[in-house]
Amino acid sequence: MPILVITGTGTEVGKTVTTAAVAASALAAGRSVAVLKAAQTGVRPDERGDADEVARLAGAVTATELARFPEPLAPATAARRAGMTPVRPQEIAEAAAKLAAGHDLVLVEGAGGLLVHFDEAGGTLADAAELLRAPVLVVASAGLGTLNTTELTARELRCRGLELLGVVIGGWPDSPDLAMRCNITDLPDVAGAPLLGALPMGVGALSPADFRTAAPSWLAARLDGTWDAEEFRGREAP
């Protein structure tokens, strides 16, 4: 698995902190890691972007950002409004392949969900994953509504013949409600893929040292971690 594409079921589901956790766990396992942010939106030139945040939390990764657009919009819209050249799926695939030549693992982080448009032709992260023939990790929210968005994402991946490696819950609260606790069981069913982790809510606020120490405990062995889905389900499910 030299290249892993990481997408969310939508915005604000914990995609960047999950990418950081996957990177930190891989580094702890002795692998070299590169992180590619396909397009950063809503960030000024002097601000830290998602790739920078992954590097801050995870440690010694190669962080690359293909383009940055000032307004917090879909990449295609943000590029058009800024009068800037958009990022195209072919460019994402080429950049990821180049990074893979010098790293054990390349994490390609998208923007929002799987089918968010990157260019005026409607190119998406799914198109880049197809070009790379890379597996996809889906980051989902914990609460009500997540089953629908997760299943829609999984169906699109299957339609394209892409491997859904698994699902990670991007933020698990200290006091989950009934829907969240039921979703532990239902998410793997609707995705047709295993639950590969659950990040405690707010871990992005940890110090980098504490984040790196704890990251493997949030992810399953498939992602270089020690988290156990059955143990988690037995503890948290109703």
Q: Domain spans of the chain?
A: 23-139+154-214
Q: Which fold has domain 23-139+154-214?
A: Rossmann fold (3.40.50)
Catalytic residue from among 15, 37, 68, 88: 37
Residue 207 tokens read as 């110090």
Report the pLDDT value the prediction gives residue 192, as an integer from 0 to 100: 97
**Annotation says 37 is catalytic:** yes
Are the C-beta atoms of 166 and 193 separated by less than 8 Å?
A: yes
Report the mean per-residue pLDDT for the chain. Answer: 96
Report the pLDDT value the prediction gives residue 16, as an integer from 0 to 100: 97
Helix (H, G, I), strand (E, B) or coil at 125: helix
For 78-116, write each residue's pLDDT tens digit: 999 999 999 999 999 999 999 999 999 999 999 989 999
Report the pLDDT value the prediction gives residue 72, as an integer from 0 to 100: 95
| Residue 112 falls in which region: left (phi positive, over 0), alpha (psi -120 to 50) or beta | left
Report the pLDDT value the prediction gives residue 46, as an integer from 0 to 100: 86
Picking from 149, 136, 224, the residue whose alpha carbon sits closest to that of residue 186 is 149
Report the pLDDT value the prediction gives residue 66, as an integer from 0 to 100: 95
Backbone CA torsion sign across 47, 113, 99, 34: positive
Report the pLDDT value the prediction gives residue 45, as an integer from 0 to 100: 86
What is each CA distance from 183 to 66, 196, 224, in whole angstroms? 35, 14, 24
- Bridge pairing between strands 105-113 and 68-69: unpaired
Q: Which residues of the chain have pLDDT under 50?
A: none
Report the pLDDT value the prediction gives residue 2, as an integer from 0 to 100: 94
